[in-house]
């Protein structure tokens, strides 16, 4: 069976949910092998058993940790040359996309970014993406080299399947060029206690309709264990930080459930959330364009609807 390389997305050894999603997708395509790059990651690599990794290539190198993406692309290049995988799957975040781009150049391969689905095809994986601000859904496949595919969070529900997760230590040589930029300091973002926006299974977003009061949005989000998002109008008004903006010039989310409160549904906002599995809108204007897209709509004032919904959820 053909090997599929999955680059493990982790923070200091703590594996992110997106990795389990990639392993689940990799199982559809072939035999998943995880690539765990970092320092002191051998113990953490064992967790990948639970999501079906048959093999884990461990690159336990303190040097790689201190640098930006270039060494990781070199590590993957060396593994691609060694194992000739049928595909390489990488998380679609800023770091993952840069690694994927560099890897595609280094291996003279085709690259597909931001896939929301990946399925096996006759001659390699077939991806689904939402393009042109969400106006088109396209199916694509790589026709040259090793398919390098970045996959958006929530593209698959992680399935627990026991894998062998046999660890293989890999010694790699990092070029001087790849070490030319180094991380000198990093500071963790202030913890909100909520899941990361692009990874959350549920997102509750607020727009101009909040009038600047995000408390009902946050309380409802907390009752569901959800992340909080915001429209650009809310961000531009200074009501919520830009890192929480959903849309064309913000983050793209694809959760199981997206709740939009006081958001009209401009095309640029839709571009960041329309691949969500279930969409709910709360808007006092029954003509709001977002109602065309939703699975469930509530016509009403969010300042009344959200607290009532929060109470109902908290009763359960």
Our CB check for ligand FAD shows the closer of 15 and 271 to be 271
Tell whether residue 78 is a contact of ligand FAD (CB under 6 A): no
> Rounded to whole angstroms, how far apart are CA atoms 160 and 138?
29
User: Which segment (75-83, 84-92, 105-113, 282-290) binds ligand FAD by CB under 6 A?
Assistant: 282-290
Q: Identify the residue among 198, 269, 274, 294 touching ligand FAD (CB under 6 A).
A: 269
Our CB check for ligand FAD shows the closer of 136 and 168 to be 136
Rounded (10°) CA dihedral 143, 144, 149, 155: 10
Task: Please name which of 221, 223, 225, 247 lies closest in space to residue 234, comparing C-alpha atoms.
Answer: 247
Q: For ligand FAD, which residue has the nearest CB?
A: 247
Closest approach, Cβ 239 to ligand FAD, in A, equals 10
- Footprint on residues 234-263 left by ligand FAD (CB under 6 A): 234, 245-250, 262-263
Closest approach, Cβ 78 to ligand FAD, in A, equals 38
Q: Counting beta carbons within 10 angstroms of the beta carbon of residue 183, is it exposed (0 to 12), middle (13 to 18) or buried (19 or more)?
A: exposed
The position carrying tokens 């890999």 is 170
Our CB check for ligand FAD shows the closer of 57 and 240 to be 240
Closest approach, Cβ 284 to ligand FAD, in A, equals 4
- Footprint on residues 202-231 left by ligand FAD (CB under 6 A): 207-209, 231
Look at the alpha carbons of 117, 120, 121, 125 in this order and tell me if their dihedral is positive or negative.
positive
Tell whether residue 284 is a contact of ligand FAD (CB under 6 A): yes
Tell whether residue 133 is a contact of ligand FAD (CB under 6 A): no
Our CB check for ligand FAD shows the closer of 32 and 262 to be 262
Our CB check for ligand FAD shows the closer of 36 and 244 to be 244
User: Which segment (32-40, 134-142, 149-157, 268-276) binds ligand FAD by CB under 6 A?
Assistant: 268-276
- Footprint on residues 88-107 left by ligand FAD (CB under 6 A): none
Binding pattern to ligand FAD, positions 286-305, x when CB under 6 A? --x------------xxx--
Our CB check for ligand FAD shows the closer of 143 and 213 to be 213
Residues that bind ligand FAD (CB under 6 A): 207-209, 231-234, 245-250, 262-264, 266, 268-269, 272, 282-285, 288, 301-303
């Amino acid at each position: 069976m053909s090997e599929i390389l999955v680059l493990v997305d982790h923070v200091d050894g703590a594996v992110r949910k997106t990795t389990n999603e990639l392993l689940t997708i990799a199982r559809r395509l072939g035999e998943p092998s995880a690539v765990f790059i970092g320092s002191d990651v051998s113990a953490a690599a064992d967790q990948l058993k639970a999501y079906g990794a048959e093999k884990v290539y461990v690159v336990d190198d303190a040097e790689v940790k201190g640098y930006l993406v270039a060494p990781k692309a070199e590590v993957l290049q060396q593994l691609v040359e060694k194992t000739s995988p049928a595909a390489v799957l990488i998380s679609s975040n800023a770091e993952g996309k840069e690694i994927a781009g560099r890897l595609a150049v280094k291996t003279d391969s085709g690259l597909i970014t931001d896939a929301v689905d990946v399925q096996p095809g006759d001659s390699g994986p077939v991806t689904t993406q939402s393009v042109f601000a969400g106006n088109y859904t396209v199916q694509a496949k790589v026709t040259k080299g090793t398919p390098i595919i970045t996959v958006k969070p929530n593209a698959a529900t992680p399935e627990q399947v026991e894998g062998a997760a046999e660890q293989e230590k890999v010694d790699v040589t990092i070029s001087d060029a790849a070490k030319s930029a180094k991380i000198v300091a990093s500071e963790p973002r202030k913890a909100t206690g909520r899941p990361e926006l692009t990874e959350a299974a549920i997102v509750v977003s607020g727009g101009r309709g909040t009038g600047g009061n995000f408390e009902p949005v946050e309380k409802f989000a907390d009752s569901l264990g959800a992340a909080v998002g915001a429209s650009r109008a809310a961000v531009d008004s200074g009501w919520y930080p830009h890192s929480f903006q959903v849309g064309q010039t913000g983050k793209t989310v694809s959760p199981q459930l997206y709740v939009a409160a006081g958001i009209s549904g401009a095309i640029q906002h839709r571009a960041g959330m329309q691949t969500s599995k279930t969409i709910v809108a709360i808007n006092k204007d029954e003509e709001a364009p977002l109602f065309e897209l939703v699975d469930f709509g509530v016509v009403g004032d969010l300042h009344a609807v959200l607290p009532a919904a929060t109470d109902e959820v908290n009763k359960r």
